[in-house]
Amino acid sequence: MKGKSRHLLRATVLAAALLGGTAAAATHPWMNPAQSPDARAAALESQLTQGEKLQLVHSLFGEPSPDKGLPKPAGALGSAGYVPGIPRLGVPALQESDAGLGVANPLEVRPGDGATSLPAGLAVAASWDPAIAYAGGAMIGGEAHAKGFNVLLAGGIDLEREPRNGRNFEYAGEDPLLAGTMVGAAIRGIQSRHVLSTIKHYALNDQETARTTVDVRIGEQAARESDLLAFELAIEHGHPGAVMCSYNKVNGDWACENDVLLNRVLKGDWKYPGFVMSDWGAVHSAAKAANAGLDQESAGDAFDAQVYFDAPLKAALASGEVKQARLDDMVHRILRSMFAAGLFDHPAAKAPIDVAASMAVARRAEEAGAVLLRNQHDLLPLARPASIAVIGAHADKGVLAGGGSSLVLPRGGNAVPGLKPTSWPGPVVYDPSAPLAAIRALAGKARVDFASGDDVAAAAALAAKAQVAVVFARQWAAESVDAADLALPDRQDALVEAVAKANPHTVVVLETNSPVAMPWLDRVDAVLAAWYPGSAGGEAIADLLFGKVDPSGRLPITWPRDRAQLPRPVLEGAGAPAGAPPPASVDYGIEGADVGYRWFQRQGLQPLFPFGYGLSYTRFEQGAAKVALHDGLPQVSVAVRNVGKRAGADVVQVYAQVPGSTVRRLAGFAKVALEPGESRTVQVALEPRLLSDFDVAKQRWVLHGGDYALYVGRSATDLAAPVHVRLPARD
């Protein structure tokens, strides 16, 4: 028997067993896994009552909601969302948990029950390695399944237009190709564990300031070539079961009742077969939202003005304002995604978790995604110094996590409890993976001392006595708030300055949401951007500092010198005093599709560190690029050699300049691991949409043809002379 048929037979037997025998399977034809998800959904729909259909199109808040006087719904595990099942037909309940870094365990519901957190989404993106993203997705999907959750509210992919956005740590950077590839791989990983994943927040939810009211203004071509392209690519790679529409308005219409975004682009042009789920509190109507393409209202009982997809939708159906066919389509989309992700055939249930295996995945992701920004005099990797002063950021206790709905409660609890804010968008949580202990473990006989950094003079005195000083700097960020500027908080710049003055061999490790200003940069020898490092972050940081692994992360964002370089030097409303009116709109037409490095090119600006940049402990040489056409599209091959003395990984980045444009776009990339002296030729296929423009009049991508300049190198600005290739025009 072939592998696939054996698998199908097993699944059929399993499904029959779950329904209480083969007789039940015969009466429940949708339980036959040999059928397509669409056929199974169609068979099941025909059995549903109107009441059951309405039950499927809105979830309940899965936690108690004291201000609304709502208890935890019966049957809910206690998480962000819950849709009761339909036992008579074998339809499982949807148990929905946040988020993309791990299984969030709301503190108030399940104290003591932790999960494994990946490092920040930016760290995973900085690995430039889809296998890292996939492994991370499979790990968190596996933990979700073993905790009884079958939906992960994951797949954060809003582009980084705004380094001050409090949720950048949940996302995958500024470039549509990199973000789309990495987030798509993470979603595939999650769904490989029979957990349905969302992709979110659709769309252009690129700042938290006034997120529930702001109207994002952007032209269609610019949107299609930037934020929407990231979604388009990730959906193609990952096939998420649901798309979560966002809080904000886009060009005047709420994202969750936006006919252009939902019906025309997502379901029309991209032929997306899954369902659109609203963000929590993002629904403003019944008929308009349903007709614009929203399929399921999330937790409206706790977050919306009313549960629109219950009685109001029923009334709209009765009046004919919403057609029955639309409700049936909503139900079909939900069920077909449940079948496609395996929710019927592989029900989520409590099971033991291999914590050590999960932690190894989280550690590997941080090792692959931390970015070495500076390394003067080859201070790193640390060469057995006699003494090390470790300073700041609670490095004796753990590593910082970002706040909000994505927060993963660590096993063993918060390493630094009590820091403010202690309630939403707090608590501030540190994962109990202490860099100090991990450094001591690798430091051999070296004396390793710690200073909290609260007393700057004491920290400087400790640094003065040590051979090397490692200062940890932190910037907590969270959902629902943006930073007003790029500065490190709490006078940490003064701490770094003082330590650097006391010790010429100073390393700074940044645990930040995104880029921060580094006024002291020239006075320190080394800087490692560790992002939010995740459950095994302390160990990963030590591995990198001591060279147990080579830093191979490359920036998924441009690191600006200061906010004057940004398209919006002032983020209107961020950090504004309470009561200040929120900005009504934000203009993303300023940079349009030229987000991040493309904006810097267009304006002729030199960033502090460019997109794609990152140092290694070894050195690579990239040979001359060769271009061959396959089906009229270029494939670039480049020989890469590790000419240093350590194993490491290089990222070959190919940027394309299309005829008539002055900016270069990342069109393909490949990461290659090489032993010292080893050489390999990597092939990089270029994504045709990055060689094309979106033609709004024709409503499709058009590759105009002509002379394309292809630049190969290691960052958006470190590029060899271009190779020119003539491409034929194509639609």
Could you say whether residue 539 binds ligand BGC (CB under 6 A)? no
Q: What's the CA gap between 138 and 149, in Å, rounded?
A: 14
Nearest-approach distance from CB 422 to ligand BGC, in angstroms: 19
- Closest to ligand BGC by CB, 96 vs 525, is 96
Chosen residue from 58, 147, 200, 671 binding ligand BGC by CB under 6 A = 200
Q: What's the CA gap between 614 and 278, in Å, rounded?
A: 37
Cβ–Cβ < 8 Å for 226, 159:
yes
HEC letters along 507-532: EEEEECCCCCCCCCHHHCCEEEECCC
Nearest-approach distance from CB 411 to ligand BGC, in angstroms: 21
Nearest-approach distance from CB 63 to ligand BGC, in angstroms: 9
- Closest to ligand BGC by CB, 153 vs 451, is 153
Could you say whether residue 280 binds ligand BGC (CB under 6 A)? yes
Could you say whether residue 45 binds ligand BGC (CB under 6 A)? no
Centre a 10 Å sphere on the Cβ of residue 214 and count the other Cβ atoms it contains: 24
Q: What's the CA gap between 79 and 104, in Å, rounded?
A: 8
Q: What's the CA gap between 728 and 125, in Å, rounded?
A: 33
Work out whether the CA dihedral 271, 273, 274, 279 comes out positive or negative. Answer: positive
Could you say whether residue 144 binds ligand BGC (CB under 6 A)? no
Q: What's the CA gap between 613 and 478, in Å, rounded?
A: 26
Could you say whether residue 304 binds ligand BGC (CB under 6 A)? no
Nearest-approach distance from CB 477 to ligand BGC, in angstroms: 14
Nearest-approach distance from CB 235 to ligand BGC, in angstroms: 17
Query: If you ran DSSP here, which 8-state letter would residue 644 be given?
Result: S
- Closest to ligand BGC by CB, 40 vs 200, is 200
Which pair of structure tokens corresponds to residue 259? 């006919």
> Among residues 585, 511, 604, 563, which one has the least CA distance to residue 162?
563
Which pair of structure tokens corresponds to residue 315? 């009334």
Nearest-approach distance from CB 146 to ligand BGC, in angstroms: 20
- Closest to ligand BGC by CB, 103 vs 691, is 103
**What phi, psi does 717 have (nearest 5°)?**
-120, -10
H-only helix segments in 321-394: 324-341, 355-369
Could you say whether residue 153 binds ligand BGC (CB under 6 A)? yes
Q: How many residues bind ligand BGC (CB under 6 A)?
A: 8
- Closest to ligand BGC by CB, 181 vs 248, is 248
Q: What's the CA gap between 83 and 54, in Å, rounded?
A: 11
Could you say whether residue 80 binds ligand BGC (CB under 6 A)? yes
Sheet order of strands, 196-202 included: 60-61, 81-83, 94-98, 151-153, 196-202, 242-245, 275-278
Sort residue 490 into left (φ over 0), alpha (ψ -120 to 50) or beta. Answer: left
Could you say whether residue 543 binds ligand BGC (CB under 6 A)? no
Nearest-approach distance from CB 350 to ligand BGC, in angstroms: 22
Strands 242-245 and 215-217, how do they pair? Answer: unpaired
SS3 state of residue 206: coil
Cβ–Cβ < 8 Å for 308, 289:
yes
Could you say whether residue 165 binds ligand BGC (CB under 6 A)? no
Cβ–Cβ < 8 Å for 76, 106:
no
Catalytic residue among 129, 227, 279, 301: 279
- Closest to ligand BGC by CB, 98 vs 175, is 98
H or E segment and range at residue 708: strand 706-713
Q: What's the CA gap between 214 and 205, in Å, rounded?
A: 9
- Closest to ligand BGC by CB, 171 vs 609, is 171
Nearest-approach distance from CB 164 to ligand BGC, in angstroms: 17
SS3 state of residue 702: strand
User: Is residue 279 annotated as a catalytic residue, yes or no?
Assistant: yes
- Closest to ligand BGC by CB, 200 vs 671, is 200
**Bridge partners, 683 (sequence order):** 637
Could you say whether residue 231 binds ligand BGC (CB under 6 A)? no
SS3 state of residue 474: strand
Which pair of structure tokens corresponds to residue 585? 């709109």
**Straight-line distance from the first to the last Cα atom of the chain, in angstroms, rounded to the nearest whole number:** 44
- Closest to ligand BGC by CB, 304 vs 497, is 304
- Closest to ligand BGC by CB, 405 vs 616, is 405
Could you say whether residue 405 binds ligand BGC (CB under 6 A)? yes
- Closest to ligand BGC by CB, 200 vs 664, is 200
Cβ–Cβ < 8 Å for 588, 222:
yes
Strands 242-245 and 275-278, how do they pair? Answer: parallel
Radius of gyration of the chain (CA): 26
Cβ–Cβ < 8 Å for 659, 691:
no
**What phi, psi does 409 have (nearest 5°)?**
-75, 120
SS3 state of residue 439: helix
- Closest to ligand BGC by CB, 95 vs 642, is 95
Nearest-approach distance from CB 42 to ligand BGC, in angstroms: 29
Nearest-approach distance from CB 264 to ligand BGC, in angstroms: 24
| Helices 324-341 + 37-45 axis angle, to 10 | 130
Q: Is 349 exposed, middle or buried (0-12, 13-18, 19+ CB in 10 A)?
A: exposed
Residue numbers 89-118 binding ligand BGC by CB under 6 A:
98-99
Cβ–Cβ < 8 Å for 191, 197:
yes
Chosen residue from 279, 511, 550, 594 binding ligand BGC by CB under 6 A = 279
Which stretches of the chain bind ligand BGC, using CB under 6 A? 80, 98-99, 153, 200, 279-280, 405
Residues marked active site are found at 279
